[in-house]
């Protein structure tokens, strides 16, 4: 009887021990599950924080464009410590050599949309793209949404997107981007900034029928005309074409990567073309999105000097200069 009693007690102890072990095991499993949930929550929060959120009004863009932007920004992040400001701009600008020249890429919608198109560039969208990428790279920004936001700030008056707010004339673009702190105008010393242009810019309002987003919208035309008239009479300094052959003097004033705008004597316009200054042994050259057949209708770093280019076109009377900050 005693042996049987001890056997029963032993079995009870074994059962209780097993039950306790199972309880501990269950608690451990619960802790693991909770830990996994916390980890999942943390990953989810991190993913949410890093999510590339784009504005609803962005136009359709290609995966190739977003991949290109992120690739350039990551590449520049790796090189930023060894590149000067000027070298950074030119390195980014050269990434687009060979991209086809395509005009009017911003005007394909009935209502203004934020267009991102890096596989077809004109002189303005080329300068905008390189400027936006440079500003992102120097501020340590690396996401596609960072680029899109910077592009919007550069392209529109006060960074507020609308067709009327788009900075259609170079004078508007320069004036607003100076105010936003993205660039500074270089207009001293004198010489070489010896010439003065008095603005008379009414080309868009006078030729509204030539613009898809103006021809059936008299309200937009009227709003643009008010902005044009507000700029008219403004005097701006520029370097005349005759002084563009003085390389020693120009090297002191114009740096690699400076934005160059070609001043014109064509009626109702201020400038006709944009690009980036790049110095070669034989003088100043203009890296630009070229519509010229001899350049292959693409972004080029041409072999001809900028002085040769300017003197072959009588309507080109000089240049304005801006520098990305």
Tell me the C-alpha distance between 212 and 304, whole Å. Answer: 35
Q: Residues 297-306: what's their mean pLDDT?
A: 98
pLDDT tens, residue by residue, 223-252: 999 999 999 999 999 999 999 998 899 999
Residue matched to tokens 């390389």: 247
Predicted confidence at residue 25, as pLDDT, reads 42
pLDDT(276) > 60: yes
The answer to the question of residue 42 being in a domain is no
Task: Let me know if residue 101 belongs to a domain.
Answer: yes
Q: What is the pLDDT of residue 257?
A: 99
Q: Is residue 107 part of a domain?
A: yes
Contact 311, 283 (CB under 8 A): no
CB atoms under 10 Å from CB of 202, counted, come to: 17
CA dihedral 190, 195, 197, 198 (to 10 degrees): 80
State whether the Cα torsion 307-309-312-318 is positive or negative.
Answer: negative
Host domain of residue 150:
58-324
Pairing state of beta strands 259-264 and 235-240?
Answer: unpaired
Do the domain assignments include residue 188?
Answer: yes
284: domain CATH number is 1.10.3670.10
In a domain, 30, yes or no: no
185 or 22: which leads in pLDDT: 185
Q: Which residues contact 38 (CB under 8 A, 6 or more apart)?
A: none
Q: pLDDT band at 7, cuts 50/70/90?
A: very low
- The tally of domains found in the chain comes to 1
Please report which confidence band the pLDDT of residue 301 belongs to, taking 50, 70 and 90 as the band edges: very high
- Of residues 28 and 254, which shows the higher confidence score? 254
Instruction: Give the pLDDT mean for 262-270.
Output: 98
Question: What is the average pLDDT value for the chain, to the nearest integer?
Answer: 88
Which structure tokens are listed for 14? 């074994």
User: Largest Cα–Cα distance in the chain?
Assistant: 124
Rounded Cα distance, 150 and 168, in Å: 17
Two tokens at 51?
């999510």
Cα–Cα distance between 203 and 285 in angstroms, integer? 28
| Strand, coil or helix: 1 | coil
Q: What is the pLDDT of residue 51?
A: 67
Residue 23 forms part of a structural domain = no
Instruction: Answer yes or no: is 1 within a domain.
Output: no
Contacts 24+ apart (CB under 8 A), 171-175: 171/199, 171/201, 171/231, 171/234, 171/236, 171/270, 171/271, 172/227, 172/231, 173/124, 174/261, 174/320, 174/322
Tens digits of residue pLDDT in 10-57: 443 333 344 444 344 444 444 433 333 333 333 333 333 346 889 888
pLDDT per residue over 145-160, tens digit each?
A: 999 999 999 999 999 9
Whether 301 is covered by a domain: the verdict is yes
């Amino acid at each position: 009887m005693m042996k049987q009693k001890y056997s029963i007690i032993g079995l009870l102890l074994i059962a209780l021990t097993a039950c306790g072990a199972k309880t501990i095991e269950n608690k451990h499993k619960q802790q693991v599950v909770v830990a996994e949930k916390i980890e999942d929550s943390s990953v989810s929060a991190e993913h949410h924080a890093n999510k590339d959120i784009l504005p609803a009004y962005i136009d359709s863009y290609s995966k190739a464009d977003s991949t290109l932007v992120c690739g350039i920004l990551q590449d520049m992040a790796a090189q930023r410590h060894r590149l000067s400001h000027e070298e950074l701009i030119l390195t980014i600008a050269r990434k687009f050599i060979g991209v086809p020249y395509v005009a009017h890429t911003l005007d394909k919608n009935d209502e203004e949309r934020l267009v991102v198109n890096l596989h077809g560039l004109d002189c303005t969208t080329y300068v905008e793209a390189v400027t936006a990428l440079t500003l992102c790279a120097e501020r340590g920004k690396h996401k596609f949404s960072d680029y899109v936001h910077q592009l919007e700030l550069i392209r529109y008056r006060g960074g507020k997107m609308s067709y009327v707010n788009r900075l259609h004339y170079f004078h508007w673009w320069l004036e607003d981007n100076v105010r936003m702190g993205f660039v500074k105008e270089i207009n001293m010393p004198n010489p070489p900034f010896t010439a003065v242009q008095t603005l008379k810019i009414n080309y868009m309002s006078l030729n509204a029928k030539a613009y898809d987003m103006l021809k059936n919208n008299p309200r937009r035309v009227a709003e643009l005309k008010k902005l044009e008239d507000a700029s008219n009479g403004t005097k701006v300094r520029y370097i005349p074409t005759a002084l563009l052959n003085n390389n020693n003097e120009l090297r002191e004033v114009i740096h690699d990567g400076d934005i160059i705008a070609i001043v014109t004597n064509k009626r109702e316009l201020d400038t006709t073309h944009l690009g980036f200054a790049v110095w070669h042994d034989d003088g100043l050259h203009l890296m630009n999105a070229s519509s010229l057949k001899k350049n292959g209708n693409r972004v080029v770093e041409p072999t001809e000097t900028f002085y040769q280019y300017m003197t072959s076109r009588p309507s080109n009377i000089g240049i304005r200069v801006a520098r990305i900050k």
